[in-house]
Amino acid sequence: MPNGTHTVELQVPIERIWAFVQDMNNWAPLVPGYIHHEILSENQSTWEFKGDLGFMKKKVKLQVDITEWLEPTKVTFNLKGLSDNFNGGGYFEAQVIDANSTRMTGYLDITAGGMMGAMINTILKNFVPETATELTDTIAAKIHEVEGVTA
């Protein structure tokens, strides 16, 4: 199962991180290759983005279902391909380091199914961890920017 985890430390209190992460509109555009998203309900949204698979790019549509809002520490979600045959999930988790700093972890797993699954999963082995890292880093940078923290 292609997956990736990435952890960063932010000089921001956990509550401020939660305030940012709980509104998907804040960070959806930060997804690598973002095209657009649509919020269908508190727990359901659809996304379209262009994944960079190295030598080519692939446009995909997927549905994200939030399975758990655990304020202020964790958002867990499932995802399902709408344009292609894949499924997966992930979470963002925040842990208090001290009153002004927080450790944030992003996790993502995606598995392709169908006849081409074996081949696509080989490509995803690099793509998924790279995406998890890039997304987590980009969100962290954005939170720092919003909160006025200079690196």
Partner 1 sequence: MPAKKPAQWHEEVDVVVLGTGGAAFTSAILAADQGAKVLMLEKTHQIGGTTAYSGGVPWIPMNRYMKEAGIEDSREDALNFIKRLSQGKEPNPALIDVFVDNGHAMIDYLHENTPVRFSVPGTYSEYYAHLPEALHNSTRSLDPDPFDLNTIGEWGSLVRQNPLFPPLTLNEGGAIGGIDFTVVADRMENNIVTMGRSLIASLLKGALDRGIDIRINTPGKELVVDDNGNVIGVVAEKDGEKIYIGARKGVVLASGGYEWNKELVKTFLKGEITHPMSPPGNEGDALIMAMEAGAALGNMSEAWWYPSMQDPTFEYEGHIINQTGSGRMGPNSIMVNKYGKRFVHEGTTYNDLPRAFYEFDPVKLEYPNEPPVWMVFDQQLKDSTMIITMMPGEPTPDWVDQAQTLTELAEKIGVDAAGLEATVARWNEHCDNGVDPDFHRGTTHFENILGGGGNAEANLGRIEKAPFYAVPVNFGALGTNGGPKINEQGQVMNLRGNVIEGLYAAGNAAMSMLGPIYPGAGGTIGPAMTMGYVLGKVVGATASRTI
Question: What residues make contact with partner 1 under the rule CB under 8 A?
Answer: 50, 54-60, 83-85, 114-119, 121-123
Pairing of β 44-52 and β 86-98: unpaired
Min separation Cβ 85 and partner 1, Å: 6
Output phi, psi for 121, to 5 deg: -65, -30
Question: Which of 61, 142 has the CB closer to partner 1?
Answer: 61
Question: Which of 62, 75 has the CB closer to partner 1?
Answer: 62
Residue 74, token pair as written in the block: 């964790």
**SS3 assignment, position 28:** helix
CB-based contacts of 74: which residues, under 8 Å, 6+ apart?
Answer: 68, 91, 92, 93, 94
**Number of alpha carbons in the 13 Å side-chain half-sphere of residue 58:** 13
Min separation Cβ 51 and partner 1, Å: 10
Min separation Cβ 13 and partner 1, Å: 41
Min separation Cβ 4 and partner 1, Å: 17
